């Protein structure tokens, strides 16, 4: 399974999962249909599935048009999103398993950004290979999604599930927000040498218009303040010794950054 990153709208990424042998593809969060259709034409591939992480327009905007083009495809989304995702046919819960090509994804329920948000995790096929995590707007490179329909407690619980995955997991998040996220991260975790180094690397990459997605989960664990609510430095920065309150305060500061 190959993952092809497509750009959409102003700062969204759409991910096309492609099986060259069977000539089939699935798409994660089609913000719009056009870039997906263009890529499918180039590959001459058939779209068999849409995997939606949540109901926001910049994640499901292409559903209707893709269904029209490929009426046989299956639309997957979270069980709690019933009625909010165009064309949804499969209603997924924590622990459900779904198949694409030779791979099986595990569904992780990650409420917080929305109350129904799910992530799709493909464990590595062979030892030493990367797993693939499609986490929508829950975890970003260097950041996390805003809490529109969830509480800090829920988001910490959701991010804890993600944090429990192996370091060697590629994080395919839905937006190119990395540079501004890291800029903020430095304001609460400025002494973190890994973070400083990452900020410099990402600055160079963005100056060359390079994408910073996917990132590696191991890097997120070391540099993303929204996975580091237990770290003393961050607790000191927001004057709390409580992990959830630490997370909530960092999230609140980022909202106003
Ligand atoms: Zn969203
Ligand atoms: Fe989004």
Number of domains in the chain: 1
Query: Closest-lying ligand to the alpha carbon of 14?
Result: 2
Over residues 217-243, mean pLDDT:
98
DSSP letters spanning 53-85 = S---HHHHTTHHHHHHH-TT-EEEEEGGGTTTS
Ligand closest to the CA atom of residue 146:
1
CA of 58, nearest ligand number: 2
Query: DSSP 3-state assignment of 139?
Result: strand
* 78 C-alpha to ligand 1 centroid (Å): 14
Task: Please write the tens of the pLDDT for every residue from 78-109.
Answer: 999 999 999 999 999 999 999 999 999 999 99
> Can you tell me which residue has the tokens 């509480």?
151
The whole-angstrom separation of Cα 146 and Cα 214 is 20
Full domain range(s) for residue 97: 2-255
Decide: 50 and 73 in contact? Cβ < 8 Å. Answer: yes
Q: What is the pLDDT of residue 160?
A: 98
State the distance between the two ends of the chain, measured CA to CA, in whole angstroms: 38
Any idea which residues carry the catalytic annotation? 54, 56, 58-59, 113, 137, 175
Alpha helices (H) in the chain, listed in sequence order: 34-43, 57-60, 63-69, 152-163, 178-188, 193-207, 217-223, 232-237, 243-255
Residues by chain with Cβ below 5 Å of ion ligand 2: 58, 137
CATH number of the CATH domain containing 183: 3.60.15.10
Which residues are bridge partners to 2 per DSSP?
18
Task: Give 20 Cα–ligand 1 centroid separation in angstroms.
Answer: 30
241 CA → ligand 2 middle, Å: 31
102-145 pLDDT per residue, tens: 999 999 999 999 999 999 999 999 989 999 999 999 999 999 99
Tell me, what DSSP letter sits at residue 172?
A: E
Gap from CA of 54 to ligand 1 centroid (Å) = 7
Summarised one tens digit per residue, pLDDT across range 180-209 is: 999 999 999 999 999 999 999 999 999 999
**Residue 239: its pLDDT value, please?**
98
Which of 117, 112, 118 is CA-nearest to residue 98? 118
What is the pTM assigned to this prediction? 0.98
Residue 150's pLDDT is: 98
Q: How far is the CA of 113 from the centre of ligand 1 (A)?
A: 7
């Amino acid at each position: 399974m190959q993952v092809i990153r497509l750009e959409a709208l102003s700062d969204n990424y759409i991910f096309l999962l492609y099986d060259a042998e069977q000539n089939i593809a699935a798409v994660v969060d089609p913000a719009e249909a056009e870039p997906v259709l263009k890529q499918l034409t180039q590959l001459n591939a058939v779209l068999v599935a849409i995997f939606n992480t949540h109901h926001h327009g910049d994640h499901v905007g292409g559903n209707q048009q893709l269904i029209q083009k490929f009426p046989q495809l299956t639309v997957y989304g979270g069980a709690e999103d019933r009625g909010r995702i165009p064309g949804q046919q499969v209603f997924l819960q924590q622990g459900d398993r779904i198949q694409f090509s030779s791979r099986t994804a595990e569904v992780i329920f990650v409420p917080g950004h929305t109350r129904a948000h799910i992530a799709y995790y493909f464990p590595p096929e062979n030892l030493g290979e990367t797993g693939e995590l499609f986490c929508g707007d829950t975890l970003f490179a260097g950041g996390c999604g805003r809490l529109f329909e969830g509480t800090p407690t829920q988001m910490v619980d959701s991010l804890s599930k993600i944090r429990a995955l192996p370091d060697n997991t590629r994080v395919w998040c839905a937006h190119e927000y990395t540079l501004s996220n890291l800029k903020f991260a430095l304001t609460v975790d400025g002494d973190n040498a890994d973070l400083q180094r990452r900020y410099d690397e990402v600055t160079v990459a963005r100056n060359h218009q390079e994408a910073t997605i996917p990132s590696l989960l191991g890097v997120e664990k070391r540099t993303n303040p929204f996975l580091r609510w237990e770290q003393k430095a961050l607790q000191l920065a927001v004057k709390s010794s409580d992990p959830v309150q630490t997370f909530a305060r960092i999230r609140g500061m980022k909202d106003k950054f």
